[in-house]
Amino acid sequence: MQGAARDPLVDWRPLAQSQRMSWWKPWTWWRRADAARSVPFARWEAVCRRAPWWRELSSAERARLVAYATELRAAWTFTGCGGLALDEANELAIAAQAALLVLGLGPRALLHVSEVLVYPSAVVNPLPRATGGGVISEGLAVLGEAWHRGPVVLAWDAVALALDASEDRHNLVWHEFAHQLDLRDGAADGRPPLEQRVSQQRWYEVLKAAYDALVAADARGRVTVLDGYGATNPAEFFAVATEAFFGRPLELERTRPELYRTLADYYLQDPAARERARETAMRL
Protein backbone atom coordinates (compact mmCIF):
# COMPACT_ATOMS: atom_id res chain seq x y z
CA MET A 1 0.00 0.00 0.00
CA GLN A 2 2.98 2.21 -0.49
CA GLY A 3 3.73 4.90 -2.98
CA ALA A 4 2.08 5.89 -6.16
CA ALA A 5 0.06 2.72 -6.52
CA ARG A 6 -2.29 3.67 -3.71
CA ASP A 7 -4.81 6.00 -5.26
CA PRO A 8 -3.15 8.57 -7.40
CA LEU A 9 -6.24 10.29 -8.68
CA VAL A 10 -8.03 11.88 -5.78
CA ASP A 11 -9.40 14.71 -7.82
CA TRP A 12 -10.99 12.54 -10.44
CA ARG A 13 -14.41 13.78 -11.23
CA PRO A 14 -17.36 11.63 -12.13
CA LEU A 15 -17.75 10.86 -15.76
CA ALA A 16 -21.03 11.44 -17.53
CA GLN A 17 -23.68 9.13 -16.18
CA SER A 18 -23.83 7.11 -19.39
CA GLN A 19 -20.08 6.49 -19.26
CA ARG A 20 -20.26 5.51 -15.63
CA MET A 21 -23.07 3.10 -16.31
CA SER A 22 -21.25 1.45 -19.14
CA TRP A 23 -18.22 1.10 -16.95
CA TRP A 24 -19.68 -0.62 -13.95
CA LYS A 25 -22.97 -2.11 -15.00
CA PRO A 26 -21.64 -5.24 -16.71
CA TRP A 27 -19.71 -6.13 -13.57
CA THR A 28 -22.56 -5.51 -11.18
CA TRP A 29 -24.02 -8.83 -10.36
CA TRP A 30 -25.05 -8.57 -6.78
CA ARG A 31 -27.00 -5.96 -4.94
CA ARG A 32 -28.45 -6.00 -1.49
CA ALA A 33 -32.20 -6.39 -1.60
CA ASP A 34 -32.99 -4.85 1.76
CA ALA A 35 -30.57 -2.07 2.59
CA ALA A 36 -32.28 -1.13 5.80
CA ARG A 37 -32.13 -4.42 7.61
CA SER A 38 -30.36 -4.25 10.92
CA VAL A 39 -27.76 -6.63 12.21
CA PRO A 40 -27.38 -7.81 15.82
CA PHE A 41 -24.61 -6.08 17.74
CA ALA A 42 -22.75 -9.40 18.19
CA ARG A 43 -22.22 -9.68 14.44
CA TRP A 44 -20.68 -6.20 14.29
CA GLU A 45 -18.47 -7.14 17.21
CA ALA A 46 -17.39 -10.36 15.52
CA VAL A 47 -16.15 -8.33 12.54
CA CYS A 48 -14.54 -5.48 14.51
CA ARG A 49 -13.05 -7.11 17.57
CA ARG A 50 -9.63 -7.79 16.12
CA ALA A 51 -9.15 -4.10 15.34
CA PRO A 52 -7.22 -2.20 18.04
CA TRP A 53 -9.45 0.86 17.75
CA TRP A 54 -12.53 -1.23 18.59
CA ARG A 55 -10.95 -2.43 21.81
CA GLU A 56 -10.25 1.18 22.83
CA LEU A 57 -13.86 2.28 22.53
CA SER A 58 -16.15 2.34 25.56
CA SER A 59 -19.32 0.28 25.36
CA ALA A 60 -21.30 3.49 24.78
CA GLU A 61 -18.97 4.46 21.94
CA ARG A 62 -19.27 1.00 20.39
CA ALA A 63 -23.05 1.25 20.50
CA ARG A 64 -22.90 4.68 18.86
CA LEU A 65 -20.49 3.44 16.22
CA VAL A 66 -22.78 0.53 15.36
CA ALA A 67 -25.77 2.88 15.15
CA TYR A 68 -23.88 5.18 12.79
CA ALA A 69 -22.51 2.27 10.76
CA THR A 70 -26.01 0.85 10.41
CA GLU A 71 -27.21 4.18 9.07
CA LEU A 72 -24.32 4.46 6.62
CA ARG A 73 -24.77 0.89 5.42
CA ALA A 74 -28.45 1.50 4.79
CA ALA A 75 -27.68 4.66 2.82
CA TRP A 76 -24.99 3.21 0.59
CA THR A 77 -25.31 0.71 -2.21
CA PHE A 78 -22.60 -1.91 -1.91
CA THR A 79 -21.60 -3.66 -5.08
CA GLY A 80 -19.14 -6.48 -5.48
CA CYS A 81 -17.16 -6.08 -8.68
CA GLY A 82 -14.63 -8.12 -10.57
CA GLY A 83 -16.23 -11.38 -9.47
CA LEU A 84 -16.23 -10.55 -5.76
CA ALA A 85 -19.30 -11.89 -3.96
CA LEU A 86 -19.87 -9.41 -1.16
CA ASP A 87 -21.35 -10.82 2.01
CA GLU A 88 -22.64 -9.21 5.17
CA ALA A 89 -19.25 -9.31 6.89
CA ASN A 90 -17.66 -7.39 4.00
CA GLU A 91 -20.22 -4.63 4.31
CA LEU A 92 -20.01 -4.46 8.10
CA ALA A 93 -16.21 -4.19 7.95
CA ILE A 94 -16.40 -1.23 5.57
CA ALA A 95 -19.30 0.55 7.29
CA ALA A 96 -17.79 0.13 10.78
CA GLN A 97 -14.41 1.55 9.80
CA ALA A 98 -16.07 4.46 8.04
CA ALA A 99 -18.29 5.06 11.09
CA LEU A 100 -15.24 5.45 13.33
CA LEU A 101 -14.21 8.40 11.19
CA VAL A 102 -17.50 10.16 11.93
CA LEU A 103 -17.99 9.08 15.52
CA GLY A 104 -17.73 12.75 16.50
CA LEU A 105 -19.04 14.34 13.30
CA GLY A 106 -22.10 12.13 12.98
CA PRO A 107 -23.09 9.93 10.04
CA ARG A 108 -24.51 12.83 8.04
CA ALA A 109 -20.94 13.76 7.08
CA LEU A 110 -20.81 10.66 4.87
CA LEU A 111 -24.40 10.30 3.73
CA HIS A 112 -23.58 12.02 0.43
CA VAL A 113 -21.71 8.88 -0.64
CA SER A 114 -23.91 6.93 -2.99
CA GLU A 115 -22.14 3.69 -3.75
CA VAL A 116 -19.31 1.58 -2.49
CA LEU A 117 -17.77 -0.58 -5.21
CA VAL A 118 -15.57 -3.36 -3.89
CA TYR A 119 -13.07 -5.29 -5.98
CA PRO A 120 -11.24 -8.38 -4.80
CA SER A 121 -7.84 -6.77 -5.07
CA ALA A 122 -6.12 -3.69 -6.48
CA VAL A 123 -8.47 -2.17 -9.01
CA VAL A 124 -7.40 -1.74 -12.58
CA ASN A 125 -9.65 0.89 -14.00
CA PRO A 126 -10.24 0.46 -17.71
CA LEU A 127 -11.30 4.00 -18.47
CA PRO A 128 -9.02 6.89 -19.30
CA ARG A 129 -9.36 9.65 -16.71
CA ALA A 130 -8.20 13.19 -16.38
CA THR A 131 -5.91 13.64 -13.42
CA GLY A 132 -5.50 16.89 -11.50
CA GLY A 133 -2.68 18.00 -13.76
CA GLY A 134 -4.73 17.43 -16.88
CA VAL A 135 -2.86 14.24 -17.64
CA ILE A 136 -4.87 11.31 -18.93
CA SER A 137 -4.12 8.05 -17.20
CA GLU A 138 -5.39 4.68 -18.20
CA GLY A 139 -5.45 1.22 -16.73
CA LEU A 140 -3.86 2.25 -13.45
CA ALA A 141 -3.78 -0.23 -10.61
CA VAL A 142 -5.24 1.50 -7.57
CA LEU A 143 -6.36 0.34 -4.17
CA GLY A 144 -9.14 2.84 -3.87
CA GLU A 145 -10.80 5.90 -5.26
CA ALA A 146 -13.06 8.62 -4.01
CA TRP A 147 -15.22 10.45 -6.51
CA HIS A 148 -17.04 13.68 -5.93
CA ARG A 149 -20.75 12.79 -5.72
CA GLY A 150 -19.85 9.34 -6.93
CA PRO A 151 -18.78 5.95 -5.67
CA VAL A 152 -16.03 5.01 -3.33
CA VAL A 153 -13.98 2.23 -4.89
CA LEU A 154 -12.16 -0.14 -2.56
CA ALA A 155 -9.96 -3.21 -2.91
CA TRP A 156 -11.23 -5.81 -0.48
CA ASP A 157 -7.83 -7.29 0.39
CA ALA A 158 -6.68 -3.86 1.57
CA VAL A 159 -9.89 -3.35 3.57
CA ALA A 160 -9.40 -6.67 5.33
CA LEU A 161 -5.74 -5.95 6.02
CA ALA A 162 -6.66 -2.67 7.67
CA LEU A 163 -8.80 -4.47 10.24
CA ASP A 164 -5.84 -6.57 11.29
CA ALA A 165 -4.18 -5.50 14.52
CA SER A 166 -0.75 -5.96 12.99
CA GLU A 167 -1.36 -3.25 10.41
CA ASP A 168 -1.92 0.16 11.90
CA ARG A 169 -0.07 2.40 9.48
CA HIS A 170 -2.52 2.14 6.62
CA ASN A 171 -6.25 2.01 6.51
CA LEU A 172 -7.79 2.18 3.07
CA VAL A 173 -11.31 2.82 4.36
CA TRP A 174 -10.24 5.80 6.48
CA HIS A 175 -8.13 7.08 3.61
CA GLU A 176 -10.89 6.96 0.99
CA PHE A 177 -13.62 8.26 3.28
CA ALA A 178 -11.34 11.09 4.42
CA HIS A 179 -11.28 12.05 0.72
CA GLN A 180 -15.08 11.97 0.83
CA LEU A 181 -15.11 14.33 3.82
CA ASP A 182 -12.71 16.58 1.92
CA LEU A 183 -14.94 16.41 -1.18
CA ARG A 184 -18.09 17.51 0.65
CA ASP A 185 -17.53 21.06 -0.53
CA GLY A 186 -16.69 19.88 -4.05
CA ALA A 187 -12.95 20.54 -3.86
CA ALA A 188 -10.26 17.91 -3.32
CA ASP A 189 -7.97 20.37 -1.59
CA GLY A 190 -7.25 18.71 1.74
CA ARG A 191 -9.63 21.00 3.59
CA PRO A 192 -13.04 19.60 4.46
CA PRO A 193 -15.84 21.94 5.54
CA LEU A 194 -14.64 23.08 8.96
CA GLU A 195 -17.93 24.43 10.30
CA GLN A 196 -16.56 26.75 13.01
CA ARG A 197 -14.69 24.02 14.85
CA VAL A 198 -11.34 25.00 13.39
CA SER A 199 -10.60 28.36 11.82
CA GLN A 200 -9.62 28.42 8.16
CA GLN A 201 -6.38 30.14 9.10
CA ARG A 202 -5.45 27.58 11.73
CA TRP A 203 -6.21 24.72 9.37
CA TYR A 204 -4.14 26.26 6.61
CA GLU A 205 -1.16 27.13 8.81
CA VAL A 206 -0.97 23.85 10.71
CA LEU A 207 -1.60 21.53 7.80
CA LYS A 208 0.66 23.46 5.44
CA ALA A 209 3.54 23.35 7.93
CA ALA A 210 3.06 19.62 8.43
CA TYR A 211 2.70 19.04 4.69
CA ASP A 212 5.87 20.99 3.93
CA ALA A 213 7.73 19.01 6.60
CA LEU A 214 6.52 15.73 5.09
CA VAL A 215 7.55 16.82 1.59
CA ALA A 216 11.03 17.64 2.92
CA ALA A 217 11.28 14.38 4.89
CA ASP A 218 10.06 12.37 1.92
CA ALA A 219 12.62 14.02 -0.37
CA ARG A 220 15.36 12.92 2.05
CA GLY A 221 13.92 9.42 2.30
CA ARG A 222 13.07 9.82 5.98
CA VAL A 223 10.27 7.69 7.39
CA THR A 224 7.81 9.51 9.64
CA VAL A 225 4.49 8.67 11.27
CA LEU A 226 2.93 10.08 8.11
CA ASP A 227 3.22 7.95 5.00
CA GLY A 228 5.32 9.63 2.33
CA TYR A 229 2.38 9.25 -0.04
CA GLY A 230 0.89 12.24 1.78
CA ALA A 231 3.55 14.39 0.13
CA THR A 232 1.74 13.92 -3.21
CA ASN A 233 -0.59 16.86 -2.68
CA PRO A 234 -2.68 18.46 0.13
CA ALA A 235 -5.65 16.15 -0.51
CA GLU A 236 -3.49 13.06 -0.07
CA PHE A 237 -1.88 14.68 2.94
CA PHE A 238 -5.24 15.03 4.69
CA ALA A 239 -6.11 11.40 3.91
CA VAL A 240 -2.72 10.13 5.11
CA ALA A 241 -2.87 12.33 8.23
CA THR A 242 -6.31 10.89 8.96
CA GLU A 243 -4.90 7.37 8.76
CA ALA A 244 -2.18 8.31 11.27
CA PHE A 245 -4.64 10.17 13.50
CA PHE A 246 -6.80 7.09 13.96
CA GLY A 247 -4.16 4.40 13.48
CA ARG A 248 -1.13 5.77 15.33
CA PRO A 249 -2.58 8.58 17.44
CA LEU A 250 0.01 8.57 20.25
CA GLU A 251 2.90 8.75 17.80
CA LEU A 252 1.21 11.52 15.82
CA GLU A 253 0.42 13.44 19.00
CA ARG A 254 4.04 13.13 20.16
CA THR A 255 5.72 14.02 16.89
CA ARG A 256 3.20 16.45 15.37
CA PRO A 257 1.21 17.82 18.34
CA GLU A 258 -0.32 20.78 16.51
CA LEU A 259 -1.45 18.61 13.63
CA TYR A 260 -2.87 16.09 16.08
CA ARG A 261 -4.81 18.74 18.03
CA THR A 262 -6.14 20.37 14.87
CA LEU A 263 -7.40 17.02 13.56
CA ALA A 264 -8.87 16.24 17.00
CA ASP A 265 -10.78 19.51 16.92
CA TYR A 266 -12.00 18.77 13.41
CA TYR A 267 -12.98 15.14 14.01
CA LEU A 268 -14.28 15.86 17.52
CA GLN A 269 -12.42 12.81 18.76
CA ASP A 270 -9.30 12.11 20.81
CA PRO A 271 -8.03 8.67 19.81
CA ALA A 272 -4.71 9.25 21.64
CA ALA A 273 -6.62 9.61 24.91
CA ARG A 274 -8.48 6.40 24.12
CA GLU A 275 -5.21 4.59 23.45
CA ARG A 276 -3.62 5.97 26.62
CA ALA A 277 -6.60 4.87 28.68
CA ARG A 278 -6.36 1.37 27.27
CA GLU A 279 -2.63 1.15 27.95
CA THR A 280 -3.21 2.34 31.51
CA ALA A 281 -5.97 -0.21 32.01
CA MET A 282 -3.69 -2.98 30.75
CA ARG A 283 -1.00 -2.04 33.28
CA LEU A 284 -3.38 -2.14 36.24
236 vs 270, beta carbon nearer Zn ion: 236
Taking the least distance from each CB to Zn ion, the nearer of 87 and 185 is 185
* Segment interacting with Zn ion, rule: CB under 5 A, options 5-13, 18-26, 98-106, 257-265: 5-13
Q: How far is the CB of 10 from Zn ion (least distance, A)?
A: 5
Least distance to Zn ion, CB of residue 280, Å: 34
Stretch near Zn ion under the rule CB under 5 A, chosen from 2-10, 92-100, 193-201, 263-271: 2-10
Cα angle 147, 211, 267 (rounded to 5 degrees) comes to 60
User: Is there binding between residue 140 and Zn ion (CB under 5 A)?
Assistant: no
Q: How far is the CB of 38 from Zn ion (least distance, A)?
A: 31
Query: In this complex, which beta carbon is closest to Zn ion, that of residue 57 or of residue 102?
Result: 102
Query: What CA–CA distance (Å, rounded) separates 175 from 230?
Result: 11
Smallest gap from Cβ 266 to Zn ion, in A, equals 18
Which residue, 7 or 253, is less far from Zn ion as judged by CB?
7
* CB 196 to Zn ion: min, Å: 26
- SS3 string, the chain, reads CCHHHCCCCCCCCCCCHHHHHHHHHHHCCCCCCCCCCCCCHHHHHHHHCCCHHHHHCCHHHHHHHHHHHHHHHHHCEEEECCCCCCCHHHHHHHHHHHHHHCCCCCHHHHCCCCEEEEECCCEECCCCEECCCCCEECCCEECEEECCCCCEEEEHHHHHHHHCCCCCCCCHHHHHHHHHHHHHHCCCCCCCCCCCCCCHHHHHHHHHHHHHHHHHHHHCCCCCCCCHHHHCCHHHHHHHHHHHHHHCHHHHHHHCHHHHHHHHHHHCCCHHHHHHHHHHHHHC
Closer of 239 and 259 to Zn ion (Cβ): 239
**Of the ranges 8-16, 123-131, 157-165, 273-281, which one interacts with Zn ion (CB under 5 A)?**
8-16
Q: Is 10 in the site for Zn ion (CB under 5 A)?
A: yes
Residues 212-251 interacting with Zn ion (rule: CB under 5 A): 236, 239
Note whether 7 binds Zn ion by CB under 5 A: yes
List C-alpha distances in Å: 103 to 60, 76, 167, 186, 266.
Answer: 11, 18, 21, 22, 12
Residue 264 as a binder of Zn ion (CB under 5 A): the answer is no
Q: Applying CB under 5 A, does 178 fall inside the site for Zn ion?
A: no
- The count of residues interacting with Zn ion (CB under 5 A) is 4
Using Cβ positions, the residue closest to Zn ion within the complex turns out to be 7
> In whole angstroms, how close is the CB of 19 to Zn ion at the nearest point?
22
The residues binding Zn ion (CB under 5 A) are 7, 10, 236, 239
